[in-house]
Chain A
Amino acid sequence: MSNKNTGLWVFVPLVGFVALAILLASGLGRNPEELPSALAGKPVPAFSKPSLISGETLTEERLTGQWQLLNVWGTWCPTCYVEHPYLLELAQRGVPIVGMDYKDEDDKARDYLARYGNPFTEVIVDADGQLGLDLGVYGAPETFLINPRGEIVLRHVGEMNPRAWDEKFAPVLHQAGNPLGGPR
């Protein structure tokens, strides 16, 4: 190749990189750790999804009546395995956790719960990810704290662990006078 027909290919990597940088910058603007303000204090979006356990149809009604956690998980998500023992521990302490099996296959999910134990009082199947999209779920795992009126109070992205519980969830429950928020 000589100088004359070098052409524009030399600019291709640069252009590609600029596109990539713009994509990354767009990701920066939206910190996934924070609850989109649009959802804070808003009720859980309306949905109608099957239950993994009973097969019955569940709606947003299921997430009302008591303080509970909504945990977004999937068998394809490595971090979900990591946080699973802690979810079991929370369940043992009496924290009601509703699972949302996100973009997953039912058989695998049942197998997972049979293998590793089931911390969930109910599991919503969100195979097409539509509910996740409405909730603004970024990936799995994510954990939402939902009050008795069915409103989202808190969102935690990433692994659920004692620190997240003590620093984020327990204080809210404590303030609401819920005994689960008391000292561990």
Chain B
Amino acid sequence: MAAEIGHLSLWVAMATALVLAVFPLIGVYRRVEAWQRYARPLAWLQWLALTVSIVALGYCFYIDDFSITYVANHSNSELPLGYRLSAIWGGHEGSLLLWAWMLGGWSALVGLFSRRVPLDMVVRVLSVMGMIAVGFLAFMLFTSNPFDRTLPWFPIDGVDLNPLLQDPGLIVHPPMLYMGYVGFSVAFAFAVAGLLAGNLDPAWARWARPWTTVAWCFLTVGIALGSWWAYYELGWGGWWFWDPVENASLMPWLAGTALIHSLAVSEKRNLFRAWTVLLAIVAFSLSLLGTFLVRSGVLTSVHAFANDPSRGAFILGFLVVVAGGALTLFALRAGQLEGKGGFKGLSRETFLLGNNLLLLIAASAVLMGTLYPLLGEALDMKVSIRSPYFNSFFVPLAMLLMVLLVPGVMSNWKRQDGAPLLRRLVWLAPAALVAGWLAARLPGPTPWVGVLAIMLCLFVVFSHVEDLVRRARAYDRGLAAGLGKLGRGYYGMVLAHCGLAVLVAGVTVVSYHEVERDVRMAPGDVAEVGGYRFEFDQMSAYRGPNFDSRKGHFVVSRDGRTVTEMNPEKRTYRASGQVMTEAAIDGRVMRDLYVALGEPLEGDAWAVRIYYKPMVRWIWLGALIMALGGALALTDARYRKKIGRRDEEPAYE
């Protein structure tokens, strides 16, 4: 019964989205305000219907209704309740429903928090989002219905959720990621609405900016969670693999990062408007492309969902309509968009333009590398694309980005004198000294690229502190009072930039100084790794809810003192027979110890992987700080009051 209600609500949502996509928009062109007023309630109704639908699917998982194909394929009566509910997005159909539900949620929120945006603009935005919703709901209803039943002979028990996905990190990772992907649809909708209206003034950028920042924060956290999950769940201690699906999330992130910077220029200076619109279109199109890559079977990957070419064809068609349509509109309208204000060769605008170009080059290179298998086949070339390819462009681009970042923050809008800027870059010197000192203290040699990276991280942090103090002092009321006067938007930026430095520092140190040992150990054996002594105490076995486990017990000590005890596991999931490695990790700020069981060897010996990972946590910590910076910027005073009253906009001429 619940399934039928859920299915029916999907159709209700579909009908609502159709009306939302067309009817209020006609009202805009016919200037009938009464029609336009339907946009918000329609958005809310759509979300309500989708909520009923997703709750219904959750209920089906809750009561173990294995007559529903999707439930039978992704759950099992032994599966713990938490995972049974997160199994809602454990497969293709359900994750689409989650996606649609979030899209509905974003639309509802746009309806709610846009009181001060002119009605015709809100209507355009909501209609565009309604069009996207129509596409997704049609995709779900016609090719991937999560409520399909296997009748009359349905399985007695389900095949279980993929054990890789039975993990707390995976309960939150997809929703975070999707919030980011789907969130970019708001920026996209604003861009298309702006193009339709022919109105992209600074107020437009101000309306679009907070939505973009929220989406960016979610995407940042989502990617970080995914990386963290891969690190501890896949059992070989890596945190980024340049897997097509990881790349699929990184590309919109790069475009989105460029977008939030370009939006800043559009808001403050009324410049880069065509560019900003283009980035908004690109960021969301790349999100859709990610969906296509994961679900079409065009590329194979760890993450691949049930591959089905007909689904791929649908998403590709959808992508063509959405991105192709928006880009066509862009081509027709962008010519009218260029800003009037100019800027000098040396100015904040120039640095932000550099930032945008670097990020976009990075995104394009990732795209090339990801699609290479297709491209290579089309052109019949024989070059293989692996991590070295990605690292070879990504490392220098990231460094160049950090080089540009500091003068960008320090420069004035419009024009900046060279001499004072150069004087403020003296922070490079202490950064270089401290970096050299730190690198010398690290165990093992650090190549010059590593030292340079650490130096840039310190440079970014030092310079931001200096900038903070200088700006606070500029109020002339003492440091403390000045610090209180600085806006949260500014603090958010400082935090996000420092987060980037933390992340890069973590990547650098763990890349050059991790120690990995693969040893054969039997109970009683001892291994020394990274200055720690790992004693393999014993093996035991226990029975989990839906798996059987063999568990090792290790005692870790340093300089004769016990540091921790670690229990890596090898689990065999009963329903699927799949074997999973559960690594034991002892995480501290400055280092992780990582023990994973490999294969049982002869006798009672095991192949054991022991890793020492210095500062690996800084990678995810840095990402979280960046997201926190974004969140802080959102609470800036200018978003809380007087949003977008056009008559109050300062003149930019």
Contacts and interface: CB of A to CB of B under 8 A. Distances in A.
Interface of A: 1-3, 6, 10-11, 13-14, 17-18, 20-21, 23-28, 31-33, 76, 78-79, 81-82, 85-86, 88-89, 103, 114-117, 128-130, 133, 138-139, 157-159, 161-163, 184
B274 A139 contact: no
Interface string B290-310: 001000111111101001010
B576 interface: yes
Given A78-B302, A79-B301, A31 B309 contact: yes
A86 to B, nearest CB: 7
B282 interface: yes
Interface string B311-350: 0110010011001100110111011101000000000000
Contact of B579 (A2, A13, A85): A85
17 contacts: A11-B331, A17-B285, A21-B319, A21-B320, A23-B371, A23-B374, A28-B298, A78-B234, A78-B238, A78-B241, A82-B164, A86-B579, A115-B598, A129-B382, A139-B299, A139-B300, A162-B576
A133 B384 CA distance: 12
Contacts of B384: 76, 103, 129
Interface string B238-279: 100101000000000000000000000000000000100010
B578 A13 contact: no
A76 B599 contact: no
Contact of B324 (A21, A158, A163): A21
Contacts of B27: none
B518 interface: yes
B373 interface: yes
A6 B330 CA distance: 13
Contacts of B334: 6, 10
A179 B334 CA distance: 68
Contact of A139 (B238, B373, B387): B373
Interface of B: 159, 164, 234-236, 238, 241, 243, 274, 278, 281-282, 285, 292, 296-302, 304, 307, 309, 312-313, 316, 319-320, 323-324, 327-328, 330-332, 334-336, 338, 371, 373-375, 378, 382, 384, 386-387, 518, 576-579, 581, 598-599, 607, 609
Nearest to A159: B302
A17 B327 contact: yes
B387 A76 contact: yes
A33 B297 contact: yes
Which 5 interchain pairs have the tightest Cβ spacing? A6-B335, A27-B298, A162-B577, A76-B386, A1-B338
A163 B576 contact: yes
A32 B335 contact: no
A24 B367 CA distance: 12
A18 B578 contact: no
A21 to B, nearest CB: 5
